[in-house]
Structure 1
Amino acid sequence: MQTKDQLINSFSDINMKEYSMPIICIYNSPSDYKGMFVARLFDVNKPTPIILMRLTLDAIRSEIPVGFTLVPKSAGEDANIVESYI
Protein backbone atom coordinates (compact mmCIF):
# COMPACT_ATOMS: atom_id res chain seq x y z
CA MET A 1 0.00 0.00 0.00
CA GLN A 2 1.47 3.31 -1.08
CA THR A 3 1.16 6.29 1.24
CA LYS A 4 -0.11 9.54 -0.27
CA ASP A 5 2.53 12.25 -0.46
CA GLN A 6 2.35 15.00 2.14
CA LEU A 7 3.24 18.35 0.56
CA ILE A 8 4.85 20.72 3.05
CA ASN A 9 5.60 24.45 2.84
CA SER A 10 9.02 24.24 4.48
CA PHE A 11 11.34 21.68 6.03
CA SER A 12 11.32 23.92 9.12
CA ASP A 13 7.81 22.51 9.72
CA ILE A 14 9.35 19.05 10.24
CA ASN A 15 11.02 17.84 13.44
CA MET A 16 14.11 16.17 11.98
CA LYS A 17 14.94 14.68 15.40
CA GLU A 18 12.09 12.19 14.82
CA TYR A 19 14.20 10.46 12.15
CA SER A 20 17.19 8.13 12.65
CA MET A 21 19.10 9.69 9.75
CA PRO A 22 17.13 12.28 7.75
CA ILE A 23 18.18 12.60 4.13
CA ILE A 24 16.69 15.02 1.60
CA CYS A 25 16.80 13.82 -1.99
CA ILE A 26 16.12 16.33 -4.80
CA TYR A 27 14.49 15.12 -8.01
CA ASN A 28 14.10 16.97 -11.32
CA SER A 29 10.72 16.35 -12.96
CA PRO A 30 9.92 12.90 -11.50
CA SER A 31 7.22 10.94 -13.32
CA ASP A 32 4.55 11.81 -10.74
CA TYR A 33 5.42 15.54 -10.65
CA LYS A 34 6.49 16.47 -14.20
CA GLY A 35 8.05 19.91 -14.61
CA MET A 36 8.76 20.37 -10.89
CA PHE A 37 11.75 20.00 -8.60
CA VAL A 38 10.79 17.77 -5.70
CA ALA A 39 12.68 17.28 -2.44
CA ARG A 40 11.67 14.09 -0.62
CA LEU A 41 12.59 13.33 2.97
CA PHE A 42 14.06 9.88 3.58
CA ASP A 43 14.82 8.20 6.88
CA VAL A 44 18.08 6.38 6.20
CA ASN A 45 17.16 4.57 2.94
CA LYS A 46 13.37 4.57 3.40
CA PRO A 47 11.32 7.27 1.61
CA THR A 48 8.77 9.16 3.70
CA PRO A 49 5.60 10.74 2.27
CA ILE A 50 7.01 14.22 3.06
CA ILE A 51 7.81 16.29 -0.04
CA LEU A 52 8.54 19.89 -0.90
CA MET A 53 7.99 21.17 -4.47
CA ARG A 54 9.41 24.22 -6.20
CA LEU A 55 9.74 25.41 -9.82
CA THR A 56 13.53 25.80 -9.75
CA LEU A 57 16.51 23.95 -8.31
CA ASP A 58 17.73 27.12 -6.58
CA ALA A 59 14.34 27.49 -4.86
CA ILE A 60 14.58 23.91 -3.56
CA ARG A 61 18.20 24.37 -2.46
CA SER A 62 17.24 27.49 -0.48
CA GLU A 63 14.88 25.29 1.57
CA ILE A 64 17.53 22.79 2.71
CA PRO A 65 17.86 23.13 6.50
CA VAL A 66 21.05 24.41 8.10
CA GLY A 67 23.34 21.57 9.07
CA PHE A 68 22.60 19.36 6.04
CA THR A 69 25.56 18.61 3.74
CA LEU A 70 25.51 18.04 -0.02
CA VAL A 71 26.20 14.47 -1.12
CA PRO A 72 26.99 14.22 -4.85
CA LYS A 73 24.91 11.90 -6.99
CA SER A 74 26.22 8.33 -7.17
CA ALA A 75 26.51 6.23 -10.30
CA GLY A 76 23.46 4.03 -10.74
CA GLU A 77 21.03 6.34 -8.94
CA ASP A 78 17.64 7.23 -10.45
CA ALA A 79 18.18 9.48 -13.50
CA ASN A 80 15.82 12.10 -12.02
CA ILE A 81 17.91 12.53 -8.86
CA VAL A 82 19.85 15.78 -8.89
CA GLU A 83 21.54 15.59 -5.48
CA SER A 84 20.99 14.62 -1.87
CA TYR A 85 21.64 16.22 1.50
CA ILE A 86 22.43 14.44 4.72
Structure 2
Amino acid sequence: MTGFSHEDAYARNGNTIKVIAIYNKPDDFSAGYIARLFDGIEPTAKAVTGKTLESIREKIPKGYTRIPRDERDVGSLVESWIY
Protein backbone atom coordinates (compact mmCIF):
# COMPACT_ATOMS: atom_id res chain seq x y z
CA MET A 1 0.00 0.00 0.00
CA THR A 2 1.39 3.36 -0.95
CA GLY A 3 -0.94 5.72 0.87
CA PHE A 4 -4.48 6.95 1.24
CA SER A 5 -6.27 8.28 -1.83
CA HIS A 6 -7.17 11.97 -1.91
CA GLU A 7 -10.85 11.10 -1.59
CA ASP A 8 -10.23 8.74 1.34
CA ALA A 9 -8.13 11.31 3.17
CA TYR A 10 -10.19 14.46 2.65
CA ALA A 11 -13.83 13.71 1.65
CA ARG A 12 -16.20 14.11 4.60
CA ASN A 13 -19.69 12.88 5.35
CA GLY A 14 -21.42 15.83 6.94
CA ASN A 15 -19.59 17.26 9.93
CA THR A 16 -17.39 14.26 10.69
CA ILE A 17 -13.65 14.50 11.05
CA LYS A 18 -11.09 12.18 9.51
CA VAL A 19 -8.78 10.32 11.88
CA ILE A 20 -5.80 8.13 11.07
CA ALA A 21 -4.77 5.94 13.99
CA ILE A 22 -1.29 4.41 13.92
CA TYR A 23 -0.78 1.10 15.71
CA ASN A 24 2.34 -0.97 16.37
CA LYS A 25 1.63 -4.70 16.12
CA PRO A 26 -2.02 -4.74 17.18
CA ASP A 27 -3.64 -8.13 17.80
CA ASP A 28 -4.84 -8.42 14.19
CA PHE A 29 -1.61 -7.23 12.49
CA SER A 30 1.66 -8.56 13.91
CA ALA A 31 3.85 -7.60 10.92
CA GLY A 32 4.66 -4.05 12.09
CA TYR A 33 2.90 -0.71 11.90
CA ILE A 34 -0.54 -0.13 10.48
CA ALA A 35 -2.39 3.18 10.04
CA ARG A 36 -6.16 2.86 9.91
CA LEU A 37 -8.51 5.51 8.58
CA PHE A 38 -11.62 6.43 10.57
CA ASP A 39 -14.51 8.58 9.36
CA GLY A 40 -15.39 10.24 12.65
CA ILE A 41 -15.54 7.36 15.12
CA GLU A 42 -16.43 4.82 12.44
CA PRO A 43 -13.56 2.67 11.17
CA THR A 44 -13.19 2.27 7.43
CA ALA A 45 -11.57 -0.57 5.47
CA LYS A 46 -8.75 1.78 4.43
CA ALA A 47 -5.29 1.22 5.92
CA VAL A 48 -1.60 1.48 5.07
CA THR A 49 1.23 -0.58 6.52
CA GLY A 50 4.95 -0.13 7.11
CA LYS A 51 7.95 -1.62 8.88
CA THR A 52 8.81 1.61 10.75
CA LEU A 53 6.92 4.49 12.32
CA GLU A 54 8.73 6.90 10.00
CA SER A 55 7.57 4.98 6.92
CA ILE A 56 3.97 5.24 8.15
CA ARG A 57 4.26 8.94 8.98
CA GLU A 58 5.42 9.59 5.40
CA LYS A 59 2.05 8.24 4.22
CA ILE A 60 -0.04 10.63 6.36
CA PRO A 61 -1.72 13.15 4.03
CA LYS A 62 -0.79 16.83 4.28
CA GLY A 63 -2.99 18.92 6.53
CA TYR A 64 -3.41 16.31 9.26
CA THR A 65 -2.45 17.18 12.85
CA ARG A 66 -0.69 14.74 15.18
CA ILE A 67 -2.35 13.82 18.49
CA PRO A 68 -0.13 11.93 20.95
CA ARG A 69 -1.24 8.70 22.56
CA ASP A 70 -3.14 9.01 25.84
CA GLU A 71 -2.30 6.62 28.67
CA ARG A 72 -5.91 5.34 28.52
CA ASP A 73 -5.59 4.29 24.86
CA VAL A 74 -5.12 0.69 23.83
CA GLY A 75 -1.47 -0.32 24.27
CA SER A 76 -0.74 -0.83 20.57
CA LEU A 77 -1.87 2.70 19.61
CA VAL A 78 1.15 4.90 18.87
CA GLU A 79 -0.55 8.17 17.87
CA SER A 80 -3.47 9.58 15.92
CA TRP A 81 -3.73 12.21 13.20
CA ILE A 82 -6.87 14.31 12.63
CA TYR A 83 -8.18 16.39 9.74
Provide the TM-score with structure 2 as the length reference.
0.85
Aligned to 1:60: 56
Question: Match of 2:11, SS?
Answer: helix
Q: Which amino acid aligns with 1:17?
A: A
Give aligned pairs, total.
78
Instruction: Give the one of 3, 6, 11 matched to 1:17.
Output: 11
The 3-state SS of whatever aligns with 1:32 is coil
Counterpart CA distance in 1 for 2:44 and 2:59 is 17
- Structure 2 distance, partners of 1:34, 1:14, is 27
Shift of 1:32: 1.3
1:30 partner amino acid: P
Where do 5+ consecutive residues of structure 2 fail to align?
Answer: none
Calculate percent identity across the aligned residue pairs.
35
Q: Which runs of 5+ in 1 are unaligned?
A: 1-7
Coordinate RMSD, CA, aligned:
1.3
Which AA in structure 2 matches 1:74?
D
Counterpart selection for 2:27 from 26, 31, 38: 31
Match for residue 71 of structure 2 among 64, 75, 81: 75
Letter aligned with residue 22 of structure 1:
K
**C-alpha contact (below 8 Å) 2:12/2:39 kept by paired residues:** no
**Which of 16-25 and 70-79 deviates more?**
16-25
Post-superposition shift, 1:14? 4.0
2 CA distance for matches of 1:43 and 1:71?
16
